[in-house]
Structures are given as C-alpha cells and as structure tokens.
Structure 1
C-alpha cells in the first residue's frame, strides 16, 4: 500500500476500540514520536507545546478539507459536528505550507536513480515550522493529486478514519471495520425494535 503522509496525519484521530475517539497526538512527546516515525529526515525532532498546537490546527484544517473532498458522502463522524469552514481550512493549509520556503534539490546517490527533493531555502529554520510546512505540503499534494478522487470516509459504525479506496468494492478502511459493519447490519435486521428512530 502506498504511503500518504497527509492520510497518516488525519489518522492520528481514530476509533479507540470502546466506542469513542482516541487522539494519538495528546502531548508534545507523542507528537515527537509520531514525527520521528512518519516524517522523513526528522529523526532528531523534538516537539514542544507550540509545535503540538500548530500540528493539531493543521490536522483540523486537513480533516475539514478531506470532508470536503468526500462530499456529497458524509465526512468522518469525528468531524461531522465540528468542521472548520472549508475556506478557513484552505487558507490555514496554504499558510502552513508557505511557512518555510523551499527549493528543489537533485539528489543522486551512486548506483541509484536521481531523486528531486524540496529542501528549505535557508538553513537554520525552526524545525517545528519545517515539520508543519512539510505536513501541509503533503496535504496539498494529496488533495491536488489523483488520490483525492479515491478518498473515502469509513462508513463502519464508530470508525472515524479516512482511507484511499484501493479497489472498486472497498467500503471500509480495514477488514475489522467491515466485520463491525456487517455485525451491525445483521443486528439491525434481526432486532428492528432496537434501530434508532
């Protein structure tokens, strides 16, 4: 499966297994661990409270734009009641992406194909600003790319994830969500009196 950094960021909001929503970015140490694992070239990053606030604000904006991308289908249930207006989310995303100017650099290791990378235009930039800008640029690339057309909000009960549809009949983000949806459907069929009104 292809890796999408923007999707990984929004997936830090997830079903907690008990009917609620869990947030993987609860404090600066959790953000530090997440960035070191998911964002290339930031193995020495250490987050503080301001970096956490910046990433959470960006995540809110990206989730709002994901909700816009899946429309007219329903957004994730975690977002449905508290979506940032799309224009505000778009402005926030673009401002975050522009926080650190970048330039293209060609990297060509021996025995490997050349690769173009965007690197900060100036050395010594704030590492937190670079992380936020890189996450924002990943979201811009995702939302402007062909993957946006395959983006879906998982329809399984209590799931709050977005996913990229990998085949025509895929309805859920993972098999366990499909199982939960089938069990809920079976229960509603056999217990109509318990169905919500």
Structure 2
C-alpha cells in the first residue's frame, strides 16, 4: 500500500475526495495506492499542495514511512484544521496544543533516529559485522546515558559533559534556568 492511503486516513479524506480534488478518476487514485501505477509529476505536485507534505511521502509505501514522517503527517493534519476561535474570555487556536506537542515529539524522534544511525553496522564487538566506529559510538552513548540517568551522584561529570559538548550560549541558558529554578 502507498503512503497516500495512510495520509488520506490521517486527514480524514477518502480516495474519492482526493480524485475529485486533483481531477482524476477514483480508479486512478486507487491504482496509485495499490502501487499499480506511479503518480505522475503533475499529480504529485497537486498532492503536495493539497496536503502540504514533501513529494517523497507520496512515493513511499506506507511501511516505509518512519516515525518522524508519520508524526509530520499528523502535524500537517492538525495545522490544516487549526482555526482561530474566540469566546467571551479567550482568543485561541483550536489545535495549538497538539501542534506544539507534535513539534516537540518530532524533534525528540529525530534525535533518537540520529543516535540509532550511529550504531549502523553493529554497535557491539560481538556483532558479526561490527564497525569500529559503531562500537565506539555505542559505548560512548551508553556511558553518557549511565551518567545522565544517575544525575544526583554524577553532577560534576554532567557539568564536564555540558562544558565539553555545548556552546557558551547554551551553557549560559542552562545557568539562567538553574538560577530561576533555585529561586522558586
């Protein structure tokens, strides 16, 4: 199945709705979803405009969408239905909380995917096709995770890591936040 069926499901539209919107038959869209036909460039551009998603999403199979891409589809859906509302006391966007939550979650998942990628080729010496860099990355990140998860007894090591890995602006921001939290 094409990712187009997943996108349609998230956006609560039928394949018939899509066919009418871009001016093709329902059978044509059905063939795209089943992988019987490729989506022509002109129609890809229409789908990109319709859903505000990158072209590559429509070329992939549903199972090929990674977690970040799936979250981005959901994010675009919420953006598409986000409306400005007013009641007697407040003015607000209807789905801003979901948008903010998904935006943060996407950033977290991107970081996890980067970390996962560091282990490609085997992250342990016991792995049959290990890569020396992957092994180093694995042990380095494992040690950092151990230090960070036991932050009370390793606060000096954490400060050293912060100094080593982060820029001065980030360090300054952390110090301001720490002072703020102590004053509360």
Q: TM-score range by the shorter chain?
A: under 0.3
Whose helix fraction is larger, Structure 1's or Structure 2's? 2
Q: TM-score, normalised by structure 1?
A: 0.23
Q: TM-score, normalised by structure 2?
A: 0.24
Larger radius of gyration, structure 1 or 2?
2
